[in-house]
Structure 1
Amino acid sequence: MGRKQNPDSDRDAMTISEAAKLLHVSRTYLNTLIDEGRLDRVSYSQGGHRRIQRAAVLAYKEQSKITQKRGLNRMVDASHRMRLYDRELEELPVRRKG
C-alpha cells in the first residue's frame, strides 16, 4: 500500500483514535482492519500518522450493522428450528393477576 500524503484541505479525514471511537473498537483493531484491507481510503499526515476518510468509516459501520443483523437473524431462525424458544418459555414462571 502506497503512502499518500493527506492534503491540508481534506477536512473529512479522521485520526485513528477518532475512527476507533466512532466504531467502538480499539485503535489496534482498527489498524488491523486497515492492514487487512477491510477499511480503505487511508492517507498519511506529514508526520506519518494514518488518517481515514469519515465516509469510509461510516460505510464500514453501516455494513457491520447489516452483517450483525443477518447473523442474529440466522441465530434466531436456528433457535426456532431447534425449538429452543419453546423450552425457554416452558421454564418461565407464569404470573397470574390476583
Structure 2
Amino acid sequence: MGRKQNPDSDHDAMTISEAAKILRVSRTHLNTLIDEGKLDGVRYTQVGHRRILRAAVLAYKEESKTTQKKGLNRMVEASERMRLYDRELEGLPVRRKS
C-alpha cells in the first residue's frame, strides 16, 4: 500500500486505537489486518502514524459480522445433520403446555 499524506485534513480519519476499540480487537491485530491488505482506507500522517477512515472501519465491522453469522449458521446446520442436538436433549424432561 502506498503512503498518502496529510490524513488530518480528512475529518473521518481515526487513530488505530480508536478503530481497534470500534472493532473490539487489539491494535496489534488491527495493524496486522492493515498489513495483510484486509482493511482499506489507511492514510499516514507526515510523521508516519496511521489513520484509518471511519467508513472503512464500519464496513469491515459489518463484513465481519456477516461472515461470522454465515459461519455460525453452517456450524448449526452441520450439528443438526449429525444429530448432535438430539443427543444433548436425551433425558431432559419435556415441558408440555397445559
With structure 1 as the length reference, what TM-score do the two structures score? 0.90
SS in 1 for 2:87: helix
**Following the alignment from structure 1 to structure 2, what is the Cα–Cα distance between the partners of residues 39 and 91?**
48
Cα distance, 1:92 vs. partner?
3.1
Which piece of structure 1 moves more, 16-25 or 4-13? Answer: 4-13
Q: 2:58 maps to which residue?
A: 58
Q: How far does the alpha carbon of each residue in 1:28-65 deviate from its partner, in whole angstroms, 9 at most, with x for none?
A: 00000000000011101122100000000000000000
Q: How large is the RMSD of aligned CA atoms in angstroms?
A: 1.7
Number of equivalent positions: 97
Distance in 1 (CA, whole Å) between partners of 2:12 and 2:78 is 42
Which residue of 1 is the match for residue 90 of structure 2?
Answer: 90
Give the unaligned 5+ runs of structure 1. none
Decide whether aligned partners of structure 1 residues 83 and 46 sit closer, same or farther in structure 2, where only a CA change above 3 A counts: same
C-alpha distance in structure 2 between counterparts of 1:7 and 1:13, whole Å: 7
Residues 14 and 54, structure 2, Cα contact 8 Å, conserved in 1: yes
* 1:94–1:80 Cα change, 3 Å: same
Q: Say whether the 8 Å CA contact 2:7–2:13 is kept in structure 1.
A: no
Contact 1:19 1:57 in 2 (8 A): yes
Alignment TM-score, normalising by the size of structure 2: 0.90
Cα gap change, 1:30 to 1:91, in 2 (>3 Å)? farther
* Structure-2 residue corresponding to 1:38: 38
Q: Which runs of 5+ in 2 are unaligned?
A: none
CA–CA distance in 2 between the matches of 1:42 and 1:71? Answer: 28
Percent identity for Structure 1 against Structure 2:
83
